[in-house]
Amino acid sequence: MSESREGAIPPELVGTIIALADSTHQASEALPSTFTVFQRLPENQKPVILHALTTILQPIARNRQAIDVNFKRRFGTKLYRSTNNDFRAVLDMATPCQNETDFVHKVQALAGMIDRIQPEVKNLITNPATRRMIRGSINILENVLREKFGSFDPEIISNLRRINRLRNSSYPTHALDERFANELRDMGFSYPPNDWSTVWEAVLELWSESFERLTELLK
């Protein structure tokens, strides 16, 4: 990881924003405000955040970039759409996960990014009845992949669904219930876990594996 001069925008942050942005214009608009948020973070957290960006989040963002490029090459539209909230979200996801509140907040941010597919993607579903009735980005993606590829690695979808279930069974999306504990148990953790940061790393690994497999499928 490179050392950044005081007041200079870290290249780790620049690279992640460029990979997540829909355009260079969006990246240039988002960078100053995102850097302002970064500057306000505690100094002892900044090296940890830059390390997480470099080793975990930037590779995932680059896979998302590759997914969009190849999805558009095949089907005429990108899969995902970016908003300026994504760049703040990626900073939130890079900060240390110290407790359950941190974990739930990060899962909310991540699930929001997973759910944000282009509206045009639904039009790729050829069956009119299915296209009319289907809801939810993950369901839409699953149906498109099934139609266009026949078979594909099921973890592309199952990993994303697990992240979504964690979001949907925790506050503030819904009241915390036993489904949240069940999801953690299925991932090999008790509730509450001994270390929330380890659970968060496992969730990021789910996201990473899903995007790696989807990138390979679309090549």
State the total domains in the chain. 1
SS (H, E, C) the chain: CCCCCCCCCCHHHHHHHHHHCCCHHHHHHHHHHHHHHHHCCCHHHHHHHHHHHHHHHHHHHHHHHHHHHHHHHHHCCCCECCCHHHHHHHHHHHCCCCCHHHHHHHHHHHHHHHCCECHHHHHHCCCHHHHHHCCCHHHHHHHHHHHHHCCCCCHHHHHHHHHHHHHHCCCCCCCCCHHHHHHHHHCCCCCCCCCHHHHHHHHHHHHHHHHHHHHHHHC
The answer to the question of residue 20 being in a domain is yes
Q: Is residue 1 part of a domain?
A: no
Range(s) of the domain holding residue 17 = 11-218
Q: Is residue 154 part of a domain?
A: yes
- Residue 187 covered by a domain: yes
Within-domain flag for 3: no
| Tens-level pLDDT at each residue, the chain (219 residues) | 444 455 688 999 999 999 999 999 999 999 999 999 999 999 999 999 999 999 999 999 999 999 999 999 999 999 999 988 899 899 999 999 999 999 999 999 999 999 999 999 999 999 999 999 999 999 999 999 999 999 999 999 999 999 999 999 887 655 567 899 999 999 999 999 999 999 999 999 999 999 999 999 999
pTM here is: 0.90
- Give a yes or no: residue 167 inside a domain: yes
